[in-house]
Every structure is written in structure tokens, then in C-alpha cells.
A = this chain, B = another copy of it.
Amino acid sequence: GTGDLMHLPVSRKLLPELTPENIYGYAPVLGQQVLREAWKTHLLQDNPSLCQKTFSLPIVTSGMTHGFSLLTELFLDSGDTLVFADQIWGNYRLIFQTKAGADIQTYPFFNTESGFNTHRFHQTLAESTDEKLLVLLNFPHNPTGYAVTHTEAQQIVDAIVARAETGCRILVMVDDAYAGLWYDATVIHESIFGLLLGCHPNVVPVKIDGATKEEYAWGLRVAFLTFGLDAAAMQPLEQKLSGLIRANTSGASQVSQTLILKAMQAPGYAAQKQRNYETLKARALKVKAVASDERYTRYWDVYPSHAGYFMCLRLKSGNAETVRQRLLAEHGIGIIALGETALRIAYSCLDASDIEKVFADIAGVIEKR
């Protein structure tokens, strides 16, 4: 027989409980089979709408960015129209526009009642004349932390179906980076992916999610692609994806996949995830309360936020980038400036005890201007 997998004990001793194969061996191109099955079970548990519906076994990618990148290679030809909101994760433009050459059509994320702008979303789809369309949805939303109500989610699905009825083939990319992190009873506590499944023959939803944020494992670079397609449609697609992955990364890190899987299988897993969720929820509620305090209303509005990792301020005066730089230089506080007027605060790395001070410092910087 063949011996143990060759390796260097100096690094293996750092992972005393894992076998060399689980650390150093090649993972299958589409990911560890058991991890893919565990992720499917996780999706079914957390998304009631998936029950009895047809969707693929999740495919492992080297982080969510890799998932989006593979989708552009599979489905996006230069010049194709891609619809997303005006408020987005900055990397979307790099991945889809700069790199893949998509023609980006945006709609305003919020309506005048500070809800999701289903009217303008519908209109943007209806006004497109393409025979093929790509749509990118993201709730919990980066950067604002907005999540949709059940009514809004159904209106989004209806708008997509209405466009599909005209003969347009639509790929809907559902960016679920922050899935599970819902803090407000008024919004739906599952992915819109489930509502899109089977909504129309011309609509193919694909869920991009991951261990990245949802499992608190940013640097492990493990995410998943799950397609709303049956086995017959998935077979050639898996082959195509397999070829693409073999030509660009040859698969995701084995030890990273093992760490995710071992965590999911551990007895304490659910309780630990719940504890992190409670921590984030407490921060989210406190951030919202503090940022919305009336002493700050002359400085900013708070964008609606019920989910995810972030909240956003819309400054009433002052330049966001200037505020960001001075906050970093004078107070050592790092936040993100978005455009001229918006500031994004991540509570994933903000202790509850620091929240009061952070907003007081932001106000102080604006005041001093």
C-alpha cells in the first residue's frame, strides 16, 4: 500500500486533530463532497422556501469573489446588461464592468419612503430591450444593512417574472454574503433565492453565499455557488465549471474547507454561531439607537438597516472622504467613505462599549470642519 501523504510535520503539528490528507491533500475541483452536502442541508434548514424545490448541490469556490468571477465567465459576454442598485459593494464594478465588460444599469436602491425601490427596479427591467439579462440582488445589503420585507421580495420576483414573460432569459445572482444575519421581525428571514426558484422557465437563480461572513471565516476563502437547476441542466454546467476552475485555481484550499466542515459538524457549532449572531444583533441595535439620536440629526440621516454587518450614514454636510481621513488620523477609527456623502460603519469589528464614542467622534470631526 502507499504510505502516509508526504508533508512537513512542523506545520502539521499546528493542526493536531486533522489527518495530513485533510490538510495537504488536493480537494476535489468542485469541493469536498461532504462539505457540499453539509452546505445543502444548512440551506434547507435556514430557508423554508427551498423545501420541495429543485436546486443543485452547492459548488465550492475560493471565496465569494471567485463565485462571481466564475459566473461572469459562464454567463456574461462583454456588452451584456447587468442590473444592480446604485448602492453596492464596490467590487461589483471591478468584477462585472472593468473585468467582464458588462453594461451596468442601476436603479435607486431606496424609494422616498426609505423602502426598497421596487417601482424603479421593475421599471429598469421593463425598459431593457435585451433578450438576455443579468440581475444582481443583495439582501442583507452591503453597504446599508437593509433587508427586504416579504411584500418587497414578492414584488421583486414579480418584476423579474414580468420581464421573463416577454421572452427574456434572466440570470438572477443572489449575493447572500450576510445570510442569516437578520435582526428585525419586519423583514424576511431567508434568502430571496427560495422565492425565485421555479418562478418562471426563463429565470435561472443562482445563490452565491459563503463561509466568508456567515461563518465568520473571511480569510479561509470558502464560498458556494448553488443553482436553481435540475440534475439534467447541472451536469453540463458542472463540467464547464470544473474546466474553468481547473484553468484558474484548481480548487479551493483543502485545509480551509476542512475547517469549515469540522466546525459545522462540531457539537458546539449552532450555539457558537447563535452567540456571534446575538453579539452582532446587540451591536446593530445599539448602533442604530446611538446613530439615530436626535443630537446627531443635523449631521446625518441613518439609512434603514435591519441586517448584515453594516450601517450607513448620509452626511448632511461635509465630504465623506475628508471625514473618514480625519477620523482615522485623529481618532484611529477606520470606516469606509462611499461617494461624497455616505459613511459605512462595520459593527463586525466594533465593540458595543465603543459605539457611543465612535459616533461622538464622527460628529466631532464634522462639527470642527
Chain B residues with CB below 8 A from A1, complex form: 351, 354
A45 and B222 alpha carbons, distance in the complex (Å): 34
Q: With A10-B268, A219-B255, A220-B255 known to touch, is A91 a contact of B246 (CB < 8 Å)?
A: yes
Asked whether, in the complex, the Cβ of A6 is within 8 Å of the Cβ of B216, the reply is yes
Asked whether, in the complex, the Cβ of B9 is within 8 Å of the Cβ of A65, the reply is no
B11, B14, B69: the one within 8 Å of A249 (CB): B69
Does any Cβ of B come within 8 Å of A266's Cβ?
yes
Number of copies: 2
B2, B18, B63: the one within 8 Å of A354 (CB): B2
- Chain B CB within 10 A, most for which of A8, A23, A218: A8
Q: With A219-B24, A351-B2 known to touch, is A8 a contact of B69 (CB < 8 Å)?
A: no
Chain B residues with CB below 8 A from A95, complex form: 247-248
> Could you tell me the dominant secondary structure of chain A's interface residues?
helix
Residue of B nearest to A63 (CB): B250
A219 and B221 alpha carbons, distance in the complex (Å): 13
Q: With A69-B248, A220-B253 known to touch, is A6 a contact of B276 (CB < 8 Å)?
A: yes
Interface residue ranges, A against B (CB under 8 Å) = 1-3, 5-11, 14-18, 23-27, 62-63, 65-66, 69, 91, 94-95, 98-99, 215-221, 243-244, 246-256, 259-260, 262-263, 266, 268-269, 272-273, 276, 279-280, 348-351, 354
